[in-house]
Structure 1
Amino acid sequence: MVTTKQIPAGPPPPSGRRRRLRRSRALTSHQQAPVQTGSATSTGEPEQRADAPAASDHPRPLTPDQAFDALYAFCAPALVRQTYLLTGRRELAREAVERAFQLAWQRWPEVAQDRDPAGWVRAVAYDCALSPWHRFRPRYRSPEPPPADPAARELLHALLTLPPSYRRTLVLYDGVGLDLPETAAETEASTPAAATRLTHAREAVAARVPALADPAELHRRLLELASAERLSAARPPAVRTGCERRNVFWTRAAIAFTVTIIGATALTLRTAPTQYEAPVAPAQAVHGVPPPAGLGPLSREEQALRTKLHRSETSGPERLAPEPR
């Protein structure tokens, strides 16, 4: 049975989603306000009827480029600051956010229909920033200069000593202002597990910085730390063009690789033998064969026989059918 500690009470940080909801309600009420009509103008134009649809009631739909640029302008600056709290590296924070928006542009139909496009991009940016493969990159092996303020430097050091899952939960809940179920869903954990991580993260930060035991003070200090650094994101057209160049590069690389494989296969089929040829066995030394015997000196009998053969006729019937004597 999993037991969780009770999260310390404190004023919950303002939720960005609630502020956006208020803005949308205000905008909706402003658009639904009745249109005041007057009399006809002196030029003879007819007056506008109250039940006639106004031109502003049907705004022109945004193009994909305009919608992406609007999402980037709304989320990128704050997202870079949040990612800096996770990594403590300015360049890595910008790179992670740009990579997240490039992936969003590649899957823009899916992201545009999502219920929370900002949350989709934020989750991808956090995953890119907390990837363990960054430790093998030479440019990220040495630490970056810490903040100039001692209090900010102490808070950042306390955040970086937390495990990545605890750090992400703390930034989402106390920094971004999400509630506990949303934090658990974004960190892919259950609500009790997210509550346990949040409790342990607060305790670890309070142990290093006792002044941050209050959640409201911790939220304020996180916002100050993120806002104190001069972190800027690239322009939206640069992100879109960079994504498109990356897609073109990988497409051409895939085509070149495919052509190379096809050429290598064709060359192999052209030069490969069509029948099996048994390999020639290597030469080996033969042992156990007696050496050839050499001719020794002739005996007297052999010498007499040789002399007799030399004196006899070399042709004639006697050579063919010798008669006994």
Structure 2
Amino acid sequence: MTPPQAFDALYESCVPALVRQTYLLTGRPLLARESVEQAFQQAWRSWPEVAVDPDPAGWVRAAAHDWALAPWHRFRPRHRQPGPPPADPDDRALLHALLTLPPAHRRTLLLYDGVGLGLPEAAAETQASTPVAAGRLLSAREALTVLAPDQAAPPVLHRRLSELATAQPLRAARPPTVRTRGERRTRRWTAATFAFTTAIVAATTLTLRIAEDHYERPVARGTEIRDLPTPGAEGPLSEEQQEVRALLESLLLRGPERLVPEAR
């Protein structure tokens, strides 16, 4: 297959499940869709690397989960408010319990009990050691046992996570649209990088032109300064200037008459 055909095949096979998984991580349908599209755009920009990866689906899943759990989404107005809660009370209770978990614990629980990865694979995808991932999994299960006790058993939890994700009407863009957006984003980043590099080169060139090319030792205190230019002498005054000068001299000598107070 050509690269676009291989990308489209990967997209079609992974997107439905990946959007649902990302929804369980965030509780926000729009953020789930955006995270999956961003991950596939990144995969298209790095397609030579993704195409030879032993697990392309895992590559895209890790990128989507990283984007979905990025802490700066809380400062974006469109993602500040949570999504609409599920209609079913059990689904609502389970989603609330999931969203109360720390992000790393929630992700480990989803990969192990939801996706079905082994503990070493879940640890590698979350960039943690296997003991750390095991501790996160146990802590997440203990929290779910308190918040949703009837849904926290591992066999039941796997089924309930699947039902919760499937019950939501989640959609995703078509593969050509994602590829086009990724290419457009790449062109914008390339243009911005070129403009930034040009600005740096111009600033460096200007600095080299106006900067001093040698060091001048400061003059020590008390050193005689020589070779100063001789102050120029004043030229002769014109007749008008001489008249003004004589008038000023006469005024300065006489001054205004003093006022003497009179007694009444």
TM > 0.5 fold call: yes
Corresponding residue to 2:72 among 133, 136, 160: 133
Indicate whether 1:120 and 2:22 are aligned: no
The sequence identity of aligned pairs, in percent, is: 68
Deviation of 1:212 after TM superposition, in Å, equals: 1.5
Q: Which runs of 5+ in 2 are unaligned?
A: 219-251, 254-264
Are the structure 2 counterparts of residues 178 and 262 from structure 1 closer, same or farther at C-alpha, using a change threshold of 3 Å? closer
Q: For the pair shown, which has the larger CA radius of gyration, 1 or 2? A: 1
The AA in structure 2 aligned to 1:159 is: L
The AA in structure 1 aligned to 2:158 is: H
Q: Tell me the secondary structure at the aligned position of residue 75 of structure 1.
A: helix
Corresponding residue to 2:178 among 226, 230, 239: 239
Corresponding residue to 2:31 among 92, 113, 121: 92
Map of 1:164 onto structure 2: 103
Deviation of 1:268 after TM superposition, in Å, equals: 5.9
- Deviation sequence 1:58-97 (CA, Å, 0-9, x none): xxxx101100100000001110100000011111111111
Corresponding residue to 1:202 among 141, 161, 171: 141
Are the structure 2 counterparts of residues 274 and 234 from structure 1 closer, same or farther at C-alpha, using a change threshold of 3 Å? same
Q: C-alpha root-mean-square deviation of aligned residues, in Å?
A: 2.3
Are the structure 2 counterparts of residues 259 and 188 from structure 1 closer, same or farther at C-alpha, using a change threshold of 3 Å? closer
The correspondence of residues 97-108 of structure 1 with structure 2, limited to 5 A, is: 97-108=36-47
Q: TM-score, normalised by structure 2?
A: 0.76
The correspondence of residues 2-13 of structure 1 with structure 2, limited to 5 A, is: none
Mean CA deviation greater in 178-187 or 72-81: 178-187
The AA in structure 2 aligned to 1:124 is: A
- Structure-2 separation of matches of 1:258 and 1:215: 53
The AA in structure 1 aligned to 2:48 is: P
Indicate whether 1:147 and 2:86 are aligned: yes
- Structure-2 separation of matches of 1:251 and 1:164: 33
> How many residues get paired?
218
Indicate whether 1:214 and 2:153 are aligned: yes
Indicate whether 1:173 and 2:112 are aligned: yes
Q: TM-score, normalised by structure 1?
A: 0.62
- Structure-1 separation of matches of 2:189 and 2:200: 16
Deviation of 1:270 after TM superposition, in Å, equals: 6.5
Structure 1 or 2: more helix by fraction: 2
Are the structure 2 counterparts of residues 266 and 80 from structure 1 closer, same or farther at C-alpha, using a change threshold of 3 Å? same
The AA in structure 2 aligned to 1:107 is: S
Deviation of 1:213 after TM superposition, in Å, equals: 3.3
Deviation of 1:214 after TM superposition, in Å, equals: 2.1
The AA in structure 1 aligned to 2:95 is: L
- Deviation sequence 1:188-209 (CA, Å, 0-9, x none): 2222222221122111112111
Deviation of 1:143 after TM superposition, in Å, equals: 2.1
- Deviation sequence 1:161-197 (CA, Å, 0-9, x none): 0011110011011111112221122122222222221
Deviation of 1:263 after TM superposition, in Å, equals: 4.3
- Structure-1 separation of matches of 2:108 and 2:202: 52
